[in-house]
Each structure stands twice: as C-alpha cells, then as structure tokens.
Amino acid sequence: MFSKILIANRGEIALRILRACRTIGIGAVVAYSEADRDSLAAQLADEAICIGPSDARRSYLSAPAVISAAVVTGCDAIHPGYGFLSEDEGFADVVRAHGLTFIGPSAEVLERFASKEATRRLLEAHGLRTIPGSGTLRDEAHALEEAERISYPVLIKPSGGGGGKGMRLVRTARELEAIFKVSRSEAKAAFGDDALYMEKYLGDNRHVEIQVAVDRFGHAIHLGERDCSVQRRHQKIIEETPSPALTEAERQDLCQRAVRAVVEAGYENLGTLEFLVDSRGEAYFIEINCRIQVEHPITEMCTGIDLIALQIKIAAGEPLGINQADVVSRGHAIEFRILAEDPSNDFRPQGGQVLGYLAPGGPGVRMDSHLYPGYEVPPYYDSLLGKLSVWAPDRAQAIARGDAALRELLVDGLTTNIELHRAILANQVFIDGKVTTDLLDRVGSAPFVAAGNR
Amino acid sequence: MPENRNGATSAAPRGAAKADPADAVSGEGPDVRAERDHLAISRLADDLLPALIAKLTATGLGEIEVREGSWKARLRRPAGSDEARRVAAWSSLDGHSGHGHASGRGPAASHGRGAAEERDRRAREEEEAEELARLPIVATSPAVGIYQPRKDLAVGMRVRAGDRIGTVDVLGVREDVIAPADGVIGSSMAEAGEAVEYGQELIRIELPENARGLHADGADREAAAVLGEA
C-alpha cells in the first residue's frame, strides 16, 4: 500500500479523496493552485503545496508541476480525481516514469480506451450493443453520406471530447452543412483534436451507467447502475440509483454484460460504462469513463463500499478482496449537484463570496462540499459547489428526504440551482421516474421553477 | 513590421533599453522611434510588471503606477476587496488616515480639482512612493521543485529587476528565480537544495533609501503609489 498520496485536484473531490486517505490510514498532500489557497481541502490537509497560478494549464493541468510536487513531498502515488489529468494517458505514463503510481488505469489501458470510437468498436466486439454510428468523419461529403446511411436526426460528436461538450444535434442535411466546419474547429479548440464522429440520435432516451471495478488480476465486480437522465445541455444535474428505467432482470443482465465486456477488453481499475436506454428498454453503450465519477456517492450509499478507497487499493496492486456476492445494493439514493449558476438566467455561472453556509443533516443525508462561510468561489474553475446525496429504503422516501434536505441547505451569497432541484422533485414526470435526457432542455427550466414555486 | 523586429526585441540586451532615454530628443525617424517604444513597452512588461505585481501582493496597496518616459503602467486591485479594506484599516492605524487614502479621494475628486487639492495629491503621492520604497520586496519561486540560489550570490550584491538570482529544478528542468525589482540582495528565506512551492518567498531584495533609488539610472522615471484607492 502507498505511504503518501498527492491529491492533484480541487473542490469537493479533493476533500473526498483526503477523507478516504485518512480513513484508510494513508498520508495525503493536497496540491492546490494560487486561487485555491483558502480552499477547504488545503486547510484541512496535514500537508498542502502550491503548484502554480490560478490558470489550470499551469497548475492542475501541468504534469511537471503535479509530479514535481509529488516528488518533493515524498509521495508515492498521485490521485487525479475527475477532470483535469484524470484520463490523460501521457500523464499516467510520465507519473510511472518518475517511479510513482497513477491512481487509475495504467497508461496502456487509458490509451486503449482513449478514443470513444475505438472503444465502442472494442466493446461491441465483446458483446455490448452500440448506437448506429460512423467512424471518424473525413470531410463534409463523408459526413453527409454517413448521415444519409444512419438516417437523421444524428449527433455530431468530437472524438476527443467528454461530458457532452461540443456535441450537436443535426436534423437535416442543410443543418449538417451549416455546422460541420464550426464543430470541427470547436473540437480542435476544446480538445486539441478536430476529429468528429456521428451517432444516430435516440429520441426519448435515458442515461444509465454501470459502475465496475477490476483489479490487476482480472477479478471484477459491478456495483450496480446509476440513472443520470436529469440533464441540462448534456450535463448531469441529478443522479439516482437504482434506475427507474430498468426492471430487476434488465438491470442484472446489463450489469453482467458490462462487467464481462470490460474484463475481456482488458480494462483495469474503477470505471463507468455509460449507456443510453431507449423507450423500449434497449441499452446502447456510448462511452467508458476511466476515473472516479462525480456521482459516485449514491453508489457508495446503496452498497456501503468506499469507491475511492477501493480505487486506491486496486492501484496499489492489491486484489479486490470482495466478490460479486458481497456487493449488495440496498434502498434508493439520489444525488443533487449544487451549482453556482442561475437557472432563471440561462444557467450563467455565478462566482462570489459564500456569506452563509449550512449543510443539511438527518438520516441518510450526505453532503460533499468544499464550502464554508466566507469562502470566495474562484471564477477560474467549474461551478460545482457540492453534492447533496440522500438515501432511503425506497424511492418515494428518498425523494421526501431529498426535498427536506434541499430545504435545509443554505448557500447564502451565491445564486444556486437549489430551487430548481426542489421543483424537479415536485414534478410528476420525475415522481413517475420517466425523465428523459432532453426533458429539461425541451421544456426549459422556467416552467419547473414556476411550478415548484406554486 | 518585418518579422525580424520581434527577434531583435527579444534578443535585445538590457543595455539597449537603458540607453534608450539618452537619445529621446534626437531627430530619429519613425522606425527608430517605434523600436524605442517597443523596447520601452518590452521593458515595462518584462521588468517592471513582475516588480509591481510583487509589490502589490506584498504590500496590499490598492494601486501602483510606474512611469517611464511617456509610458505608464498601472496595476489596480479590484474594488472592495478584503485586502484593500484591510490595508485601509492598517494605514489608518499607522497614522496615515489623515491623508485620506481610501475615503478622502472619491468625494473630493468629484468636485473638480483645485490647485491646493492638486498639491495635496502630489504630496500624498510622493509620501506614498517613499513608503512603497521602504517596503520589502521578495523574489518568489516560479514553480514547485528544488531551489538553488545562484552560486555567486551574496548579501549586499546589487541586482537589476529581471536578473536571474537562482533556479528551481522541476523534474530536471530549471526555471529561473527572477529579481522582481532593482536593489541589493538581502536575507535568504530558503536554503539551497530545499523543496519549495510555487510562489514561495526565497530572497529579500532590499531597496535603496527612497523611491528615487528604484530608478537609479537617472532616467525620467518616477514611481507613485496610491494607497487603498481601488
């Protein structure tokens, strides 16, 4: 096992990793940027080190800065969290070259799963259904040809992208002609790679993902699924487990096929396979996330397994130590992403000082947040202020606990989406478990908030 | 401008920038003037800005302005920041509140500026410039790594803003520790071979007695600082 881990991330996930390290008795050093000097993780850590200026490219995204910090503080492993360098195979490789361990899949595994398109082909070959789609689009003519073959509507996606960024819905050949070049240059600007591919757009679909864990010896378990259908512009905002979209038989089938496919494809460490489930209950594999996910707490609440601790253990080369039979998912959990943005003002991110902060409590309530009264939210990073997760024996009670906790949660000084969450919980479509990924974008958030206020 | 302009500028030795004020009045052509302007801006950006940033950070001043010839560089802290408030409080404790740093300026300025007021302002600026000159300046680490001061460095040695006074080794790549201002080497705040973090204070740069020492080359450059105005 490691003696000391460098936490190369910020915000709530830095705090979450610090807590895991303390729980399992491993030392931790929090690496922070100049803008995060006052962050909670940096303050709570036994050891913290400033790795660069606020610009993430010179701090959290700088491999030399992160690795140098690990070396000079005597760490033997680096936890990258999510985002930033978490799925960068080049970084994982350099970490290893400096005699350190990257907490995540090895560079080879990351490389094998780096291209979404290649990953879809790979896992298709191992028994997962994928959405009809194209290979890399050579040019506009090729794109038009492929769209004709697959049939409109289609989604244009950057091969190097993630999290729904840079994705575009195209309904006609004319639209495709209008956006192709723009999408390409946007992909280049955002991900450094202008490769695009195309997928059939499934109308009323749900986003369901399977959490897997695979150790170095090829032993694997799944930890059930998460339903992330409540999205806004392809960004998840509420996640729950189990998914209301699947029957028990469908769930078992999908989880088993997923875990079998990744093991056969040579995956290692924690991973999440994302699927779109259509209105007939067919699940199509879309991508794999080779990192800890933002929404991991709901899986932890239902299974009782500390996923970060498990991830560290696998990276240290230890066997999983548990079998599938040991993984028992109980009850229902829901996570709300608390964001510093204004739903009534086109979701514009809001920075500023937290004047007051009060985290909710009670049975089955968990708050993962780096906020504290007086904390100044830096404007340089994402708008995630924290994650409120609730657990209850069944979905109806989880919704009730969620609403009670959201009412209690106080974030004074910033505009947040707390009221939007409450409005969604009160909406009949959500209560019926029938939210599809495009609902919020189609209806707009205003009707939700307006209905919620009545 | 032809491409070699950039090359010439970046390769220009410090001496070129220093010589600049001397031929300020000669009747040179637009090309030469452009070249001089370029060098002046380049010097402002390369040498003075890091020094200004260091001072602004170290002192918590609201605003600092430096003039060189007809060029001006001004750094202003965002209004209402904690730091500005803290400094305002600190300066009032220090007996400077009578000069009305933060509070006296706004309303008075809005009534237009009489000659007496202008005199006041100048006096205040001079005083503040002197105050600024007395504040310690510190060279900080450009990266996280292992620190080594320059071998020949000694306390009392004269350095110019922009001089390399040490390095920080980042995984075998050396990044320069730069003197943020003209002055003399003061005490060390980190040992050779020590692990340092980004922004860590490494070496004090002592300034000569007053602000005029900041531009000891006798150029027509003056420094002025305004406390807590931001």
Dihedral sign for Cα atoms in the order A254, A257, A259, A261: negative
- pLDDT of residue B33 exceeding 50, the answer is yes
CB contact B171 to A (< 8 Å): yes
- pLDDT of residue A266 exceeding 60, the answer is yes
User: Would you list the domain boundaries of chain B?
Assistant: 137-206
For position B10, what pLDDT does the model report? 33
Whether residue A96 lies in the annotated active site: no
* HEC per residue, B128-176: HHHHHHHCCEEEECCCCEEEEECCCCCCCCEECCCCEEEEEEECCEEEE
Q: What CA–CA distance (Å, rounded) separates A276 from A254? A: 12
In Å, how far is A205's CA from the nearest CA of chain B?
Answer: 47
Interface mutation target, options B144, B146, B202, chain A, most CBs of A under 10 Å:
B144
Query: Using alpha carbons only, what angle is made at residue B204 by residues B199 and B209, rounded to the nearest 5 degrees?
Result: 135
CB contact A235 to B (< 8 Å): no
- Put simply, the answer to whether A72 touches B173 (Cβ < 8 Å) is no
CB contact B191 to A (< 8 Å): no
For position B227, what pLDDT does the model report? 30
- Put simply, the answer to whether B171 touches A49 (Cβ < 8 Å) is no
For position A116, what pLDDT does the model report? 85
Cα dist. A402→B39, B139, B156 in Å?
A: 62, 51, 65
What pLDDT, in 10s, does the model give residues A411-446?
999 999 999 999 999 999 999 999 999 888 888 777
Mean pLDDT of A79-97: 97
For position B107, what pLDDT does the model report? 34
Could you tell me if A225 and A211 are in contact, meaning their C-beta atoms sit under 8 angstroms apart? yes
| Closest residue by Cα to residue B136 from B76, B69, B204 | B204
What pLDDT, in 10s, does the model give residues B168-213?
999 999 999 999 999 999 999 999 999 999 999 999 998 764 434 4
Helix spans in B67-208 (H)? 82-93, 105-110, 115-134
For position A192, what pLDDT does the model report? 86
- Put simply, the answer to whether B171 touches A68 (Cβ < 8 Å) is yes
* Averaged pLDDT score across all residues of chain A: 94
DSSP B46: I
More confident residue, B96 or A140: A140
For position A374, what pLDDT does the model report? 96
* Edge-to-edge strand ranges of the sheet holding B221-226: B71-76, B63-68, B221-226
Cis peptide before B50 (omega within 30 of 0): no
**A47 φ/ψ angles, rounded to the nearest 5 degrees:** -140, 135
CB contact B34 to A (< 8 Å): no
Asked if the B137-206 domain carries CATH number 2.40.50.100, the reply is yes
Mean pLDDT of A376-382: 93
What are the structural domains, with CATH classification, of chain A? Answer: 4-103 (3.40.50.20), 132-200 (3.30.1490.20), 206-453 (3.30.470.20)
What pLDDT, in 10s, does the model give residues A20-69?
999 999 999 999 999 999 999 999 999 999 999 999 999 999 999 999 99
Q: Which of B173, B197, B199 sits opposite A64 (nearest CB)?
A: B173
Tokens of A184: 């390409």
Mean pLDDT of A140-156: 94
For position B134, what pLDDT does the model report? 64
Q: Which helix (H) or strand (E) holds A30?
A: strand A27-33
CB contact A449 to B (< 8 Å): no
Chain A CB contacts of B200 under 8 Å are: 50
For position B222, what pLDDT does the model report? 36
Confidence of residue B43 (pLDDT cuts 50, 70, 90): low
Dihedral sign for Cα atoms in the order A417, A208, A242, A229: positive
Interface mutation target, options B83, B146, B197, B201, chain A, most CBs of A under 10 Å:
B197
More confident residue, A124 or B132: A124
Query: Using alpha carbons only, what angle is made at residue A365 by residues A256 and A230, rounded to the nearest 5 degrees?
Result: 55
In Å, how far is B196's CA from the nearest CA of chain A?
Answer: 8
- pLDDT of residue B41 exceeding 70, the answer is no
- Put simply, the answer to whether A72 touches B171 (Cβ < 8 Å) is no
- At what angle are helices A296-303 and A307-315 packed, to 10 degrees? 100
Q: Is the pTM above the cut of 0.95? A: no
What's the complex ipTM? Answer: 0.85
Show the beta-strand stretches assigned E in A314-409: 332-339, 341-342, 348-349, 352-353, 356-358, 365-369, 376-377, 384-392
CB contact A67 to B (< 8 Å): yes
Confidence of residue A172 (pLDDT cuts 50, 70, 90): very high
Q: Which residues, including other chains, have CB under 8 Å from residue B221's CB and lie 6 or more apart?
A: B66, B67, B68, B69, B215
For position B89, what pLDDT does the model report? 32
